[in-house]
Amino acid sequence: MSDTAIRPLVAGNWKMNGTTAALREPRLLGAMLKGVKLKCDVLVCPPATIIRRAKAVMKGGKIKVGGQDCHAAASGAHTGDISAEMLKDAGAAMVIVGHSERRTNHKETDAEVAAKAKAAHRAGLVAIICIGETLEERKGGKTLDVLTSQLKGSIPEGANSGNTVIAYEPVWAIGTGLTASTAEVAEAHTHIRKEIGKIMGAEGAKTRILYGGSVKPSNAAELMGAANVNGALVGGASLKAADFIGIIKTYM
């Protein structure tokens, strides 16, 4: 299957930002997209506390709602954690797992990320599995090896193009204003495409690979135009509808 046959996804990761007042943004976004024929899927991942309300304000619209993380277990004695089943119940369609902030702040390993992705599949959610190298690893020429081992360790059995999305997010580009060059993005994404083919078989060719790391309206078209890029995972620029729409416009 050619790259162009894959329906892109533009996903917004709000991180730990947004209370009820922030719901005006997805409401605005919903209004902006009314009547627009989109050539991509759009996802907003607000904090879990407002997933249900976010879904309600966008009711009948084109925007899906997602979670930012989930526990591997369906329920149990895990104070403060949220299961994939709970996210699904709140209205989520997808969940981000293995974001570098989770891998760093919570010391999450590839095996834990794979278990979370498996939990997402169990609950009927699409898992957005994040991978990416640090600046040190890039400078040391280890980028492609790091991506290979993260993919091998983080993709669970049963992953297919319908239940899994890969997000390539160079750690040094997240929230820094720095972005990988188009050549660096193309190199990483083409490598990921090859590696997921080995892990997922024919499904690998149909699986969406998102780029994330300081994507904004001014650089989105160029980044999204790189080989094997099927959309974006957007942090800061997804918080305001006016910015997020500027990225979604790449696919309008």
Residues that bind ligand PGA (CB under 6 A): 13, 169, 174-175, 212-215, 233-237
Q: Active-site residue numbers?
A: 99, 169
Comparing CA positions, the residue from 251, 113, 235, 133 lying closest to residue 188 is 133
Q: Which is nearer to ligand PGA, 196 or 233 (CB)?
A: 233
State in angstroms the smallest separation of the CB of 37 from ligand PGA.
26
Q: Which is nearer to ligand PGA, 85 or 179 (CB)?
A: 179
Q: Which is nearer to ligand PGA, 85 or 92 (CB)?
A: 92
Rg of the Cα trace of the chain?
17
In single-letter form, the type of residue at position 99 comes to H
- Residue 51 contacts residue 83 (beta carbons within 8 Å): no
Comparing CA positions, the residue from 209, 191, 196 lying closest to residue 144 is 191
State in angstroms the smallest separation of the CB of 202 from ligand PGA.
28
Residue whose C-beta lies closest to ligand PGA: 235
In b/e form, how buried is each residue of 200-217, taking b as 16+ CB within 10 angstroms? beebbbbbbbbbbbbbbb
State in angstroms the smallest separation of the CB of 105 from ligand PGA.
12
